[in-house]
Amino acid sequence: MGSEPGDEVVVVGGGVIGLTTAVVLAESGRRVRLWTRDPVERTTSAVAGALWWPYRIEPVVSAREWALHSLGVYEELAARPGLTGVRMVEGVLGETDLDEAGGWAGARLPGLRAATTQEYGGTGLWARLPLIDMRAHLPWLRERLLAAGGVVETRAVTGLAEAGAPVVVNCTGLGARDLVPDASVRPVRGQLVVVENPGIRTWLVSTDPVSGEMAYFFPQPGRLVLGGTAQEDSWAAEPDPAVAEAIVRRCAALRPEIAGARVLEHRVGLRPARDAVRLEREELPDGRLLVHNYGHGGAGVTVAWGCAREAARLASR
């Protein structure tokens, strides 16, 4: 049985939000075309350190619901890490206490506990969380979309009206600033240093309580990803050598063996931040339907599947 014309959906945006949304729509029986300005390997999502945890995202209650749904998906995908890029890895969330996190996540994360003083010098949580290798995960999502009958088209758009389908889903991230337009979308610059892994098998996220500076490291296959920064309203896309040195220094203060690790790569990504995620439907004057799904900041990977499920529901006529 073929799809009806009204079943056609164009998803604009090829990062993790757009890809995941397109997969959910295609696997529900919709005819999906994904428009992406850049190949998925060159999107902002490709830069992500990609630890599952709702980081700087509003509204909090909805974000936790989206995150917990996504957690269930990632736990299943972790059974095939070489294919999906998803692994369950232990580590410490610094400056987070059990009372705060246990209330919403404790039932789903039975191993969640306070970190010992040997594991972390301050208040922290020991957790086993999904850690996603975006080099593998984004191409896997693209292949899953294609297997479901979706089409991926590399094309830049200057306005959402260019997508003439009955239903358009806007997953353009930072691009929504101009395409909607929505001036409330702003960049939060993240810089990473990728080094050879000196044997570290757990991840760590730490925030200096005085300066607010972050330090984190994530063991990914064949490398260790070091971070990080959260520079509000910075459009600088090139790595800053001084910032890179500071990242390595902060991470080495937590794990001294990082100091001598050979640098493999420097990366910069501009997180698409907004005061609150925009996940809603808009009826256009011509009768078409526009669904917005953007503004996830640094938590896109964390909430991708939950937001995709909601966006697919909103895209139903």
Report domain extents, the chain. Answer: 1-85+133-184+275-317
Answer yes or no: is 12 a known binding residue. Answer: no
**What's the pLDDT score for residue 262?**
98
Cα distance between residue 210 and residue 204, in whole Å: 18
Instruction: Tokens for 188, please give them.
Output: 């939060």
Residues 93, 101 contacting (CB under 8 angstroms): yes
Q: 44 among the known binding-site residues? A: yes
Can you give the pLDDT at residue 132?
98
Q: Are 132 and 86 in contact (CB under 8 A)?
A: yes
Is 295 labeled as ligand-binding? Answer: no
pLDDT at 199: 98
Please check whether residue 178 is in contact with residue 186, taking contact to mean a CB–CB distance below 8 angstroms: no
For residue 229, say whether it is annotated as part of any ligand binding site: no
d(CA 58, CA 168): 24
| pLDDT score of 30 more than 90 | yes
What is the per-residue pLDDT for 317?
72
Architecture of domain 1-85+133-184+275-317: 3-Layer(aba) Sandwich (3.40)
What's the mean pLDDT in 205-223? Answer: 94
Of 11-15, 107-111, 184-188, 225-229, the least confident = 107-111
Q: What is the pLDDT of residue 4?
A: 53
Q: Any known ligand binding at 45? A: yes
302 is in an annotated binding site: yes
Q: Are 136 and 92 in contact (CB under 8 A)?
A: no
**Is residue 57 helix, strand or coil?**
coil
111 among annotated binding-site residues: no
Asked whether residue 36 is marked as a ligand-binding residue, the answer is: no
63 is in an annotated binding site: no
- Kindly report the CA angle at 306 between 301 and 311, in degrees rounded to 5? 110
Residue 27 C-alpha from the chain's centroid = 21
305's enclosing H/E stretch is: helix 300-314
